[in-house]
Chains A and B, each alone.
Chain A
Amino acid sequence: GAGVSQSPSNKVTEKGKDVELRCDPISGHTALYWYRQSLGQGLEFLIYFQGNSAPDKSGLPSDRFSAERTGGSVSTLTIQRTQQEDSAVYLCASSFWTGNTGELFFGEGSRLTVL
């Protein structure tokens, strides 16, 4: 597609349930990033992929969070046993692999609300 696509755009779930958030990057972009945006907290780095590998997953908050990327394209962020503090907007971004200088192209995010 023309831009980064994320789904669902909104997700309301009950505490303890698992959720999956999907990101479809711009075609040809080899790098893919997940960030979490909480009110007043800016963007918190979670994980990034180069191809299907995740060289840096240091930002994942706990072992309840995991992510994968298949075919060098679509990525899924999974949150198991959701907690209320997981409520946030989860942003996905992609870029051409140009090391540190590349522009990140963001999707509109998936807003997660845990009741």
Chain B
Amino acid sequence: AQSVTQLGSHVSVSEGALVLLRCNYSSSVPPYLFWYVQYPNQGLQLLLKYTSAATLVKGINGFEAEFKKSETSFHLTKPSAHMSDAAEYFCAVSGNTGGFKTIFGAGTRLFVKA
């Protein structure tokens, strides 16, 4: 079965600092991996996705993630945090096992301090 583990339910950074949100996955087949963001009182929206093309994936709002098969990781980064990045971030995986469904991690809430 596929699964996703997000390390750290809460991450706090200062404005302008590096953002690093960690995600590790488990999958017996090459996975498709996603990061979604949920701003307060809004629905989830896609930040970026990996679908077996380039291992470094660029998304919206300056975020990027790197697929590392050897580490089964798909960490999300942004060089310089902005106050507007404060939100909850979800890593997700889908693949051919377990049917065509996307499995989400528990989420990481990002706080940005002025």
Contact = CB atoms under 8 A, between A and B. Distances in A.
Interface stretch (B64-72, B78-86, B97-105): B97-105
A95 to B, nearest CB: 9
A100 B94 contact: yes
Contacts of A104: 36, 44, 46, 102
A33 B104 CA distance: 13
B23 to A, nearest CB: 12
Given A33-B101, A56-B99, A100-B100, A108 B90 contact: no
Which of B6, B46, B96 has the most CB atoms of chain A within a 10 A radius of its CB?
Answer: B46
Contacts of A77: none
B106 A103 contact: no
Interface in A24-64: 31, 33, 35, 40-43, 45, 48, 50, 55-56, 58-59
Given A42-B106, A101-B32, A106 B43 contact: yes
B51 interface: yes
A93 B102 CA distance: 11
Interface of B: 6, 9, 32, 34, 36, 41-46, 49, 51, 90, 92, 94-96, 99-107
